[in-house]
Amino acid sequence: MLRGMCLWLLAAMVLAPVARAEDGYRLWLRYDALSAQRAGAVAQRAASITGPDRPSAVVASAISELQRGLGGMLAREIPAGTQISAGTVILANPSVQARLGIDLPLSDLGAEGYLLRSMTLDGKPVTVVAANGDAGLLYGAFALLEHIQRGLPIDEMNMRSAPKLQLRVLDHWDNLDGSVERGYAGQSIWNWWTLPEHVDPRLVDYARANASIGINGAVLNNVNASALSLTPRYIAKAAAIADTLRPWGMKVYLSARFSAPIELGGLDTADPLDPEVAAWWKAKADEIYASIPDFGGFLVKANSEGQPGPQDYHRSHAEGANMLAAAVAPHGGIVMWRAFVYSAEDATDRAKQAYAEFKPLDGTFADNVLLQVKNGPIDFQPREPFHPLFGAMPETPLMMEFQITKEYLGQATHLVYLGPLWEEVLEADTRRHGEGATVAKVIEGRYGAHKLTGMAGVANIGDDRDWTGSTFNQANWFAFGRMAWNPQSSARNIAVEWAELTFGPRDDVTRTVLDMMMTSREAVVNYMTPLGLAHQMATGHHYGPGPWVSDLGRPEWNPAYYNRADKDGIGFDRTASGSNAIAQYAPPVAKEFGDLAAVPDRDLLWFHHLAWDYRMRSGETLWQSLLDHYQTGVEQVQAMERQWQSLKGDIDPRRFAKTADFLRIQEKEAKWWRDASVLYWESVSGKRAPEGYPEPAHDLDYYKALRFPNAPGH
């Protein structure tokens, strides 16, 4: 016992400098050495590993992760073999259970669910990770390690979990030149130039991180796709990535450029009903599957923002999607067809276009097609009402698309935890199938006989050492995985899990970090787009405010298009007297949004154009309420700065300093948003902020003249 204690202390001393030099690379998989008392308790239940006689590559990954994690936390080598002794972790698929005489209830866990249970087997205390399939054993192994990292009891475990969505996919907007569209964490991690001969070992850590939160797929290239990604050269590169991710339960997908038959195949057309075009895609699919047998399928952006698509040939989105679906169907592949469409030729409210194009196509898509719909009807704004397509297409599986990268929310530097944003959308009641038909239940497939369900997240990952550009951006990657596993998850509970794994299970630290995270999204809404305003960012790079921009070639590119501010008022009238976008929602929802006495303040200016002196339910005028929100947002950031400073000494120096620096940037830019926005509203309304309101640092012309030609990510 004494020798073991000395070894533990020696290992802790060796590991201590590593902990002090924490740089964020390990994400939430830190596996630092436990206290002697905690290590002793864990070792009684988890000190060795056994599993299937001939473990698959995925089960081998589970074993290696348990050895890594338990080895780090117990500061010892963890043996894996066939023997069962006191403290063995048993990876038990049905055949292992039968061999050991264990009968655990797995019938409702599917292929990816897992069960964790503390048991006594032949008088020996053991921990069982049970599952029907290899992926379940992998996810269960990570769940066990998380349980231990968070300091939770290991001797009375009885946990079970299974994903509610089948496809849990990261969409990488990575370009073949190594840049990342809307990426704020460096260059692409794929390193296309050296593939396939050299695969960066970092990709294994990427796969481990995804497996730990249940993500089972990655789209490797930008939705604004290059046809080159479908050439033999790049298929070989994608195959090398697939070989690296496969042992961690992940499939790869590719974004397909719809005009590739012309650009690569020499055809005169990409018409989806042309037999030569269909034959070209079938041959291309066969070629890909020859190199990547478990290739997931295609993601397609078509007839949006200038991308080619079936409408170029007077064909429908369904006809385009179904042609591609037929090409991958023999291999078990799928097509994720994006519903993000808007056209310069359509003069109606941009918020209405996706619904208008796709709702009439309900029931016409092939059964291996998912329609991938953004959470709101515009474009990943700090706040939008839920997309009206959710619940409106019962014969079509709809796949949620969230943006993990913060294109419109302060990019890399602003601390914005997106869990509350996503939870707000997923909890929204569509009322399409009676009360309680939430968006979460819609995408879970509860209201249609769909064989496919899923959620996609636009990745925030790059080659920065800390993966996402900042420590708190990691929380959004983590939260996406959790909500893709279970769309009814609590954003608050996820934040607690992440904080304990990322900074250690210390109650005082967790409480402070949790309060910062749960405040952060509302803060950014307040200082950027309060009371239902949207798309007020400067155009192109979407960095900083630009509510005055009104001279761009397409109306819907202009922030002024969305705020409609003039001397009489502000806001976009989407009621029956305006664009009538509310009619795209179920009648009870439309009634609430259209009624000034019922619409939530948070959606007010999304649906209504109101006078500056409109009296809010609070008794304030709209003008005063706007001013209050902008100032509140600044004050919330200042409060987060103070809270973070209170943790000095409790957080390792490197991560503490970077976050403190970024919070200072966020405070400066929150004030910029407040000052520039208020000055512009003053200029169009004739109103003035009351005496005592913070004086802007500059005049309006100064803010209008700012240019950022080298802003990242665009």
Catalytic residues: 305, 379, 407
CA–CA gap between residue 468 and residue 459 (Å, rounded): 9
Estimate the crossing angle of helix 202-212 against helix 471-485, to 10 degrees: 50
CA torsion 188-189-193-195 (nearest 10°) is -150
509-523 core/surface letters (b: 16 or more CB in 10 A; e: else): bbebbbebbbbbbbb
End-to-end, the C-alpha distance of the chain in Å comes to 59
Per residue, the 3-state secondary structure of 15-61, as one string, reads: HHHHHHCCCCCCCCCCCCCCCHHHHHHHHCCCCEEECCCCCCHHHHH
Find the DSSP H helices in 359-506. Answer: 419-427, 439-443, 471-485, 491-503
What are the Cα distances from residue 357, in Å, to 256, 298, 393, 409?
A: 21, 21, 12, 28
Structural tokens at position 231? 């050439």
Per DSSP, the residues of 498-528 read HHHHHH-S-HHHHHHHHHHHHHHHHHHHHHH
> What does the alpha-carbon distance between residue 596 and residue 594 come to, in Å, rounded to a whole number?
6
Helices of type H across 165-274: 202-212, 232-245, 260-263
**Cα 358–364–365 angle (5° rounding)?**
85
Q: CA-to-CA distance for 117 and 554, rounded, in angstroms?
A: 59
Bridge partner residues of 621 (DSSP): 615
Using the structure block, give the residue that is written with the tokens 């307040």: 526
- Spacing of C-alpha 92 from chain mean position: 31
How many other C-beta atoms are found inside a 10 Å radius of the C-beta of residue 450? Answer: 18
Torsion angle of C-alpha atoms 376, 377, 379, 385, degrees rounded to 10: -40
The Cα 238–Cα 284 span in angstroms is 14
Instruction: Specify the DSSP class assigned to residue 4.
Output: H
Whether the Cβ atoms of residue 375 and residue 402 lie closer than 8 Å to each other: yes
Strands 158-161 and 114-121: antiparallel
Q: How far apart are CA 371 and CA 321, in angstroms?
A: 9
Interhelix angle 202-212/134-149, nearest 10 degrees: 90
* Sign of the torsion angle spanned by Cα atoms 593, 597, 603, 607: positive
